[in-house]
Amino acid sequence: MIHGTHNSIEDNRNNNIKILINDDFFNREDAKISVFDSGYLVGDGVWEAMRLHDGVLVFKNQHFNRLWSAAKTIGIVLPFTKEDLEAKINSVIQLNNMETNELIERREFAGDKRKVNIFLTAKGVEKRKLVRDFLLDFNQKIASKFKERDLQGFMKVMNAVDLAIEEVEINKNTEV
pLDDT (tens digit per residue) in 21-54: 888 999 988 988 888 887 778 878 888 888 887 7
Please give the model's pTM, rounded to 2 decimal places.
0.53
Q: Which domain holds residue 81?
A: 7-99
Which segments of the chain does DSSP mark as H helices, in order? 38-41, 60-73, 82-95, 122-145, 148-175
Residue 166: inside a domain? no
Residue 136: inside a domain? no
Residue 64: inside a domain? yes
CATH number at residue 63: 3.30.470.10
Residue 100's pLDDT is 53
Residue 1's pLDDT is 46
∠ at Cα 49 (68, 165), nearest 5°?
55
Q: What is the CA radius of gyration of the chain?
A: 21
The segments of the chain whose pLDDT lies below 50 read 1
∠ at Cα 60 (88, 126), nearest 5°?
100
Residue 172: inside a domain? no
The crossing angle, in degrees rounded to 10, of helices 82-95 and 60-73 is 120
Residue 158: inside a domain? no
CB burial of residue 92 (10 Å; 0-12, 13-18, 19+):
middle
Residue 78: inside a domain? yes
Number of domains in the chain: 1
Tell how far CA 148 is from the center of its chain: 34
Residue 117: inside a domain? no
Residue 1: inside a domain? no
